[in-house]
Amino acid sequence: MIALTNNRPHSGPLPQGSVFLRFLRYELVSGILFSRGRLALSVLVIVLLCGGFMLSYSSLVGGLPELSGKKPLVDFAMVFGFLLTGSDFYSMDGSTPFVIPAVWILAQTAIAFLIGSRVNDTLEDQALQTLTRVQSRDTWWIAQCIWVFIMVAIFYIAAALFAVLLAFILTAQATPGIELDLWSYLTSSPRPEGGMFDFASLFIAPFLLSAALSMLQVSLSLVIGPIPAFLAILCYDIASVYLNLPFLIGDDAMIARSSFAHVGGYNPLLTMLIALLVFVASAILGRTLLLKKDLAGKKGE
């Protein structure tokens, strides 16, 4: 197990940069790999994200309109881009006005659970020991932010790789010659001219949203504790499912439904900007709170 102890002999204190790198490596490895429970839950998150994609794709293909009596071709880029839906796709009609995106909620709950359990370790139980070793709250906080970002990125990269694999298989089975503008079909808006950048943004947007909410959860944990912060993030996610309001950014991860309700269709750039803003604001707020947090007093409770 990687420890924060220095195994090599040295004279005098280590430079702060070296401590940071060592601490970051410790955070990344002990955050998931050395906890069997968290490792299992991480696998579950990836399975859920991939499962959500498969369910959405299967619903979409089943609901696609037939053109000239045949199922249309859904090209590689479109299938690849379909990961953006982030939730169970469904055809909205009079008998099915609303479907709870169960897989999306499960995946977000599992991510929030992972974040909360780790925060409980680092910022509550082992806070004093960690601070003694790292010696700088700034270093500690930056490592936390990077850990959150990388952990969420791993989940979404794994799901994206799965989508690419599936895209290769599925596009080979489509009827050639009849194409459907899936972008317009999904987002109810004209296909933009941005090309691959738009597809890339659609991949990045759900990931950034998850990362922003995770960062917000870590910062909230410093104020109200890990469990209430977990509850707050979950209520926010559930509210996102039910309401279409601009500040409920969780809803933008479910573009298949958001596009029905958002005036002018879905805008991934705006979503990414809001998510980045929330991530940075949470990181700055968390740093300020950590600098003022009474870790010794907390330990005594």
Q: Write down the least CB distance from residue 113 to other proteins, Å.
A: 6
Note whether 243 binds other proteins by CB under 8 A.
Answer: yes
Residue 82 or 236 having the CB closest to other proteins: 236
Note whether 231 binds other proteins by CB under 8 A.
Answer: yes
Half-sphere exposure of 155 (CA within 13 A, CB side): 35
Residue 139 or 240 having the CB closest to other proteins: 240
Q: Is 250 exposed, middle or buried (0-12, 13-18, 19+ CB in 10 A)?
A: buried
Q: Which two tokens stand for residue 117?
A: 């359990």
Q: Write down the least CB distance from residue 118 to other proteins, Å.
A: 9
Q: Look at phi and psi of residue 249 and say left if phi exceeds 0, alpha if psi is from -120 to 50, else beta.
A: alpha
Window 119-158: residues binding other proteins (CB under 8 A) = 119-121, 124-125
Residue 101 or 286 having the CB closest to other proteins: 101
Look at residue 170 and give its three-state secondary structure: helix
104, 254 Cβ separation under 8 angstroms: yes
The stretch among 18-26, 52-60, 71-79, 110-118 that binds other proteins (CB under 8 A) is 110-118
Length of the chain: 301
Q: How far is CA 200 from CA 23, 99, 160, 171, 230, in A?
A: 32, 27, 11, 19, 30
Size of site (CB under 8 A) for other proteins:
26
Q: Which two tokens stand for residue 185?
A: 């079909």
Residue 100 or 161 having the CB closest to other proteins: 100
Q: Write down the least CB distance from residue 190 to other proteins, Å.
A: 32
Q: Write down the least CB distance from residue 32 to other proteins, Å.
A: 14
The gap from C-alpha 203 to its chain's centroid, in whole angstroms, comes to 11
The stretch among 2-10, 20-28, 102-110, 252-260 that binds other proteins (CB under 8 A) is 102-110
Q: How far is CA 138 from CA 13, 122, 142, 199, 290, in A?
A: 17, 14, 6, 36, 8
Q: Write down the least CB distance from residue 92 to other proteins, Å.
A: 16
Q: Write down the least CB distance from residue 75 to other proteins, Å.
A: 32
Q: Which two tokens stand for residue 151?
A: 């952990």
Would you tell me which residues interact with other proteins (CB under 8 A)? 37, 102-103, 105-106, 109-110, 113, 116-117, 119-121, 124-125, 226-228, 230-231, 234-235, 238-239, 242-243
